[in-house]
Amino acid sequence: LKLELSWGHSTLVKKNPQYIYKNTAPYKKMNILFVCQDTRMSSIASVYFNKMSKKHISLCAGSSVGLKKDFPLYLAVVKCMDEDGYDLSRRKRKQLTPQRINWADKIIYLAEKKELPEELQNSEKVTLWKIKDAKGKFPIFYVKMRDKIKKEVKNLIEDLE
């Protein structure tokens, strides 16, 4: 590892992206996985998180995407985020997999506890955010949920950083 010292105030490790050094104390870069049933709300959360966080990264997944894996995101999500300056038109739906679960240091499930998939039910990594499912809802509902998710993401980042 190559170290650069700045008179004891901070240490930077260039070849180890797993750690970020601040005031000579290492902080682990967190991998956050946002999950909902079909990637509607988790996509929104992941986009905001990756834009706002300077230290951590996120992915999103749906617990019941099934055969629609790699299909484009729902048009209502794309339009809702476009209104806030984010282009999700090329994004695809991703299924929750064991690999994504293992990758994550923290999993945020955006739904009710009763909808939590079996593979996440006993995980200590999981935090529930009570975000209502947008399936079949009007566009204004997406905007309300988007704004709620944005606030939750901001709070999460403040807690992590």
Neighbours of 146 (CB within 10 A): 21
Cα separation, 143 vs 151, whole angstroms? 13
pLDDT at residue 20 tops 80 = no
Global confidence as pTM = 0.80
Cα separation, 88 vs 29, whole angstroms? 25
pLDDT of residue 132: 83
pLDDT of residue 128: 94
Phi then psi for residue 89, to 5 deg, are -65, -20
pLDDT of residue 10: 34
pLDDT of residue 9: 34
Percent of the chain whose predicted confidence (pLDDT) is above 90: 53
Percent of the chain whose predicted confidence (pLDDT) is above 70: 83
Cα separation, 117 vs 119, whole angstroms? 6
pLDDT at residue 25 tops 90 = no
146-156 confidence digits (pLDDT tens): 999 999 999 99
Cα separation, 26 vs 128, whole angstroms? 28
Beta bridge partners of 96: none
Comparing CA positions, the residue from 54, 159, 35 lying closest to residue 108 is: 35
Mean pLDDT of 98-102: 94
Cα separation, 24 vs 8, whole angstroms? 7
CB 130 within 8 Å of CB 145: no
pLDDT at residue 13 tops 50 = no
Mean pLDDT of 137-144: 89
Pairing state of beta strands 25-28 and 3-5?
A: unpaired
Cα separation, 40 vs 51, whole angstroms? 18
Mean pLDDT of 99-128: 92
pLDDT at residue 76 tops 80 = yes
